[in-house]
């Protein structure tokens, strides 16, 4: 990665409420919600006339909604035609790629301001078809015909991590518990209930119905019970992210025009992207995602920063084990040591390195093509000190990182931000 010809900043960011919106809302409606939210969060206002191009991240509206060619559709809805409008795809890293390509396009001199969209409407399909569509991000020639859908692939990664580093089911559960606690504080999240609240509510229902009330003493008892069904050992239901409809919008601007839109731009200090063989069986190692290591290396190098400089991060917790891998592969902790940090509470909102204050994919939700852009929305808020409810990190952070994965680590985009 060479040095960029000019700097780029995020000057506005917003998102739709994440959740189950179909059939009331589809990608076009969710996108308009996100656009309006981002306009409202751009200090000095912004409109279609300010925007030079529209970069849309979407995994597979093809399979979810029988709609390809999203670039012009999304652009047209907010009055951006006839400007350039394209779709970018890298499975669940699709809007991470859209964001990165927008950064490069502005740096190139071609455009000054770009609207980055992330959109995905998944609940038009029944769950079994959602799993099948998502499997198109794995290797369709080898993994898919063998029946290996994503919970199974990440279960393989988790099992390897268990064996190599002594990681336990409780370690995974701590990730879910923390992310649900953060989701409670995010009005845009799909799940705004802590696991303790869900447990208590379950107990209450049992009592109301005259059934035996389970004697769960804490969340771990609940999460080990049959209420948290096994999906693919060792991953249970609460280790998996949600099936979600949602959209996010980012306004990016070149350094020479950024101040027109806000006095406090969130600068992109570094960007990196890595790739790896789609199939797990083609990799040398299961407990490290080399795409993450490569993306992080490029981003740190461009930013002139290292893992120790990062004060807050949004990482790609499509499954709880993925958050643990990310904490290690990004260099925040040595290999096998992330679980210790999690036990210490380091990744909580008041910890030494808060991770997924948004609630993560686990509680905020995971509309796959929108996730990368939504990561940046949370970082925009945290660095500006405007995160809602009680989740704003107390000592307002200045340097942040986002980590967006595609597939079982076939793609990774890492960005570093500073305010």
Within 10 Å of residue 243's Cβ, how many Cβ atoms? 19
Which CB, 101 or 194, lies closer to its own copies?
A: 101
119 in helix, strand or coil?
A: strand
What residues from 21 to 40 belong to the interface with its own copies (CB under 8 A)?
26, 28
137 binds its own copies (CB under 8 A): yes
Q: How far apart are CA 85 and CA 97, in angstroms?
A: 14
Within 10 Å of residue 170's Cβ, how many Cβ atoms? 14
- Based on the residue annotation, tell me whether 412 is a catalytic residue of this protein: no
- Close Cβ partners of 210 (under 8 Å, ≥ 6 residues apart): none
CB of 90 to its own copies, least distance (A): 5
* Binding test (CB under 8 A) with its own copies, winner from 140, 230, 285, 386: 140
* Binding test (CB under 8 A) with its own copies, winner from 16, 42, 65, 356: 65
Which CB, 71 or 246, lies closer to its own copies?
A: 71
68 binds its own copies (CB under 8 A): yes
316 in helix, strand or coil?
A: coil
CB of 18 to its own copies, least distance (A): 21
DSSP letter at 390 equals T
CB of 136 to its own copies, least distance (A): 4
344 in helix, strand or coil?
A: coil
What residues from 287 to 306 belong to the interface with its own copies (CB under 8 A)?
290-291, 293-294
CB of 143 to its own copies, least distance (A): 11
Which CB, 108 or 390, lies closer to its own copies?
A: 108
86 binds its own copies (CB under 8 A): yes
Of 304, 261, 269, give the one whose Cα is nearest residue 416. Answer: 269
What residues from 218 to 277 belong to the interface with its own copies (CB under 8 A)?
271-277
Residue linked to tokens 């656009």: 35
Which strand (E) or helix (H) includes residue 154? helix 150-165
- Based on the residue annotation, tell me whether 366 is a catalytic residue of this protein: yes
- Close Cβ partners of 89 (under 8 Å, ≥ 6 residues apart): 57, 58, 59, 60, 97, 369
Of 22, 96, 33, give the one whose Cα is nearest residue 65. Answer: 22
* Binding test (CB under 8 A) with its own copies, winner from 362, 411, 414, 419: 411
Stretch that binds its own copies, among 33-41, 64-72, 209-217, 312-320 (CB under 8 A): 64-72
46 in helix, strand or coil?
A: coil
Per annotation, catalytic residue among 21, 316, 366, 403: 366
DSSP letter at 20 equals -
CB of 41 to its own copies, least distance (A): 25
* Binding test (CB under 8 A) with its own copies, winner from 11, 39, 51, 105: 105
**CB 9, CB 241: distance < 8 Å:** no
* Binding test (CB under 8 A) with its own copies, winner from 19, 90, 265, 372: 90
Residues involved in catalysis: 92, 366
């Amino acid at each position: 990665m060479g040095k960029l010809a000019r700097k780029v900043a995020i000057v506005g960011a917003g998102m739709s409420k994440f959740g189950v919106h179909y059939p009331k809302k589809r990608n076009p409606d969710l996108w308009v919600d996100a656009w309006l939210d981002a306009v409202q969060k751009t200090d000095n206002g912004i409109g279609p006339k300010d925007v030079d191009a529209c970069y849309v991240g979407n995994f597979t509206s093809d399979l979810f909604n029988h709609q390809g060619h999203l670039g012009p559709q999304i652009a047209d809805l907010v009055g951006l035609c006839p400007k350039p409008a394209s779709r970018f795809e890298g499975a669940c890293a699709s809007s991470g790629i859209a964001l990165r390509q927008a950064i490069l396009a502005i740096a190139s001199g071609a455009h000054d301001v770009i609207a980055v969209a992330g959109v995905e409407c998944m609940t038009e399909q029944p769950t079994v078809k959602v799993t099948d569509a998502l499997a198109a991000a794995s290797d369709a020639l080898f993994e898919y015909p063998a029946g290996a859908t994503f919970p199974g692939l990440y279960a393989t990664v988790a099992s390897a991590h268990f064996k190599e580093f002594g990681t336990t089911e409780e370690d995974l559960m701590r990730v879910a518990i923390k992310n649900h606690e953060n989701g409670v504080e995010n009005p845009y999240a799909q799940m705004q209930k802590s696991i303790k609240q869900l447990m208590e509510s379950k107990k209450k229902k049992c009592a109301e119905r005259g059934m035996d009330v389970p004697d769960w003493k804490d969340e771990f008892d609940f999460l080990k019970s049959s209420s948290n069904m096994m999906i693919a050992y060792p991953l249970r239901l609460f280790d998996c992210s949600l099936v979600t409809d949602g959209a996010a919008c980012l306004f990016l601007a070149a350094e020479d025009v950024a101040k027109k839109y806000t006095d406090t731009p969130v600068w992109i200090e570094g960007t990196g992207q890595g790739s790896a063989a789609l199939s797990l069986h083609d990799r040398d190692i299961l407990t490290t995602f080399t795409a993450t290591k490569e993306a992080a290396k490029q981003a740190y190098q461009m930013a002139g920063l290292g893992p120790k400089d990062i004060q807050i991060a949004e990482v790609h917790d499509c499954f709880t084990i993925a958050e643990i891998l990310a904490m290690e592969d990004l260099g925040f902790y040595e290999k096998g040591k992330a679980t210790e940090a999690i036990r210490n509470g380091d990744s909580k909102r008041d910890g030494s390195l808060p991770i997924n204050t948004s609630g993560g994919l686990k509680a905020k939700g995971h509309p796959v093509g929108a996730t990368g852009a939504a990561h940046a929305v949370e970082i925009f808020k945290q660095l500006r000190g405007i995160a809602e409810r009680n989740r704003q990190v107390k000592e307002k952070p200045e340097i942040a990182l986002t980590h967006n994965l595609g597939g079982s680590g076939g793609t990774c985009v890492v960005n570093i931000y500073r305010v």
